[in-house]
Structure 1
Amino acid sequence: MLSLRAVNQFYGENHILWNLDLELSKGECTCVLGAPGMGKTTLVNCITGYLPVESGSIIWNEAGLPPQNLLTRPVEDRAALGMSYVAQERRIFSQLSVEENLQIALLAGNEHARAIPDMVYQLFPELYSLRHVRGGELQNDLQQRLALARALVTEPKLLILDEPTLGSGQRFIQELGGIIRRLNRDFGLTILLVEQRLSFIRRVADRFCLLHRGRNVAQGKVELLDDKLVASWMAP
């Protein structure tokens, strides 16, 4: 689905990502984790195109189509290919209704789209009854649901979630884990998850990538993410 090879990124003179490799396989959930300030969100912003990459490649692979190096394409093309992103800040329109938020996202992803996919309200049934309520009037967890629903209305192939459990209640975190597994299992969606909550990672992820000072210091199946490995690289 997506292959990163030897990606390097700089903020001015500061070298942030160092020859980073990452492979996202179709239909799997891959988690990027690491202590704060180790390059996780920078990596996401490079993949989505919001930050420039100094060197390396980010290759989009889709069955039946030739590989495409995203570094040669504008940011808006990534959404058209099937990439969707939920930032930490959620970025919903607070003065617009739930349904208006979804409609805007739908049109942004596909100008010919006419209706919100059924799967969105299937996954978030509470949003249907609140569809005429303004986004800014929703409780915190409902705003997070709306941000996720906005990302899904375009029916993406790759969903990127940047710390979706941050500031959320335990009930929503439990529900979110079930939603992620359902997206993998029932809809075949590929997910890149940036997260630090280990219990959540072990529940939902298939694979992990552990960053330390912008380097990929460990990766593999999530079963290999044991306490000793975490303590070695994430201890305060």
Structure 2
Amino acid sequence: MLSLRAVNQFYGSQHTLWNVDLDLPQGMCTGVVGLPGMGKTTLINCITGNVPVESGTIIWHEAGAPPRDLLNQASEQRPAPGIGYVPQDRRIFSQLTIEENLHIAMRATGTAASGAKNDVYDLLPQLYTLRQMRANTLSPDDQYQLALANALVTRPRVLIIDEPMHGAGHSIARKLAQLLARLNRELGMTVLLAEPQLSFIRRVADRFCMLYRGRNVAQGHVNELDDELIAHWMSRDARR
């Protein structure tokens, strides 16, 4: 579905990602883990086109079509192949209603399917009851659900979520875990999740990719994310 090969990224003279390889198997949830500042959000921003990539490839694979290198496309074009993105800061229109937010998301990506909003309301039924409310009147958890809805209403084939547990309560954690299970198992959606909370990754992910100082130091099935690996790469003192 999506493959990264030898991706390098710089902020000025600082080398932040070093030859990162990553495959996102179709229909699976892959969790990117690592301590703060190790490159998780930078990696996501490279995929979504929000930061430039110095070298490497990010290839979109689709049945019946030739592979495409997304590095040749601007960030506003990335949703077109089927990528949905939920950033940490939500990026919702606070003065608009839920319905209006979803309408704008659909128009921005050219989504024309009449049932797209109904599908989102089926996945996130609480939003349906609140659909005429302005976003700034919603609870933080409902605002996050709206950010998810804005991504899902475009009917993506790959959903990218950046640190959803940052400031989230137990309620949204439970709902998101249930949602991701449904997206994977019922709809076959591919998910990339950057999240430092290992308990959540172990709960929802099929595979993991561990970053340390911008390098992909380990990856595999989530069952391989064991205590020894965590102690080696995610202890603040282990690699000094």
Instruction: Answer whether TM exceeds 0.5 for this pair.
Output: yes
Instruction: Report the count of equivalent residues.
Output: 236
Deviation at 1:115, TM superposition (A): 5.1
Measured after TM superposition, the shift of residue 28 of structure 1 is 0.5
Q: Does 1:62 align with 2:69?
A: no
Q: Distance in 2 between matches of 1:153 and 1:175?
A: 18
TM-score by length of 2: 0.96
In structure 2, distance between residues paired with 1:220 and 1:14? 28
Once the two structures are superposed, the pairs formed by residues 133-212 of structure 1 within 5 Å of their partners are: 133-212=133-212
AA aligned to 1:177 is: A
Could you tell me how far apart the structure 1 residues matched to 2:52 and 2:17 are?
A: 11
Q: CA deviation at 1:166?
A: 1.2
**Pairing 1:42–2:42 present:** yes
Q: Distance in 2 between matches of 1:111 and 1:129?
A: 23
Tell me what 1:104 maps to. 104
- Deviation (angstroms), 1:114: 4.4
Give the AA of the match of 2:69: N
2:145 partner letter: R
- Percent of aligned positions with the same letter in both sequences? 60
Q: After TM superposition, where is structure 1 displaced by more than 6 Å over at least 4 residues in a row? A: none
In structure 1, runs of 5+ residues without a counterpart are none
Residue 101 of structure 1, CA deviation: 0.6
Matched position secondary structure for 1:191: strand
Aligned residues of 1:90 and 1:147 also touching (Cα < 8 A)? yes
> Over residues 57-98 of structure 1, what are the superposed CA-to-partner deviations in whole Å (9 max), with x where a residue is unaligned?
110001110000111122222111100100000011110001
Please provide the CA RMSD for this pair: 1.1
Q: CA deviation at 1:52?
A: 0.8
Under a length normalisation based on structure 1, what TM-score does the superposition of the two structures give? 0.97
Instruction: Supply the AA of the counterpart residue of 2:185.
Output: R
